Amino acid sequence: MKKFFIKICKFFGFEIIDQNEFISPTLNKELNEDLSIFNQKSIVLPLGEVKITRKVNSILIIIRVNTEIEVWDQNKRRLFEKPKVEYSIRSIKSLIKSINLCQKKYSNLKIKTIILDDSSKNENLDKIKKVTKDSDVEIITLNTKKFETKIKKQKTHETFSNLASLFQCFEIGKDIGEDLIFFIEDDYLHFDTMLSEMIATYERVSSQLGKDIFMCPSDYPYLYMDNEKTNILIGDKRHWRIINKTLCTFLTSKKLLDLYWQNFSKNCEDRHDPFEKYINEIYKDEFCISPLKSLSVHLTNINSSYGLSPFVDYKKLWDENKFNG
- Give tens-digit pLDDT for 109-120: 999 999 999 989
Q: Which CATH architecture has domain 58-320?
A: Alpha-Beta Complex (3.90)
Question: What pLDDT is attached to residue 114?
Answer: 98
Beta bridge partners of 114: 62, 138
pLDDT at position 186 over 90? yes
**Close Cβ partners of 220 (under 8 Å, ≥ 6 residues apart):** 247, 290, 298, 305, 306, 307, 309
Parse the chain into domains and list their residue ranges: 2-33, 58-320
pTM exceeding the 0.85 threshold for the entire prediction: yes
Of 189, 237, 213, nearest in space to 289 by CA: 213
Give 270: exposed, middle or buried? Use CB within 10 Å, 0-12, 13-18, 19+.
Answer: middle
More confident residue, 325 or 304: 304
- What DSSP element (H or E) covers 187? none
**Beta carbons of 56 and 177 less than 8 angstroms apart:** no
Angstrom CA distances, 286 to 174, 257, 260, stand at: 19, 12, 10
Answer positive or negative: Cα dihedral of 202, 208, 209, 212: positive
Half-sphere exposure of 221 (CA within 13 A, CB side): 15
Question: What pLDDT is attached to residue 75?
Answer: 67
Q: Alpha-carbon distance 117 to 165, whole Å?
A: 8
Answer positive or negative: Cα dihedral of 110, 116, 122, 124: negative
242-265, pLDDT tens digit by residue? 999 999 999 999 999 999 999 999
278-293, pLDDT tens digit by residue? 999 999 999 999 999 9
Angle in degrees, CA 194, 196, 202, rounded to 5: 100
Q: Alpha-carbon distance 242 to 232, whole Å?
A: 7
Question: What pLDDT is attached to residue 70?
Answer: 76
154-177, pLDDT tens digit by residue? 999 999 999 999 999 999 999 999
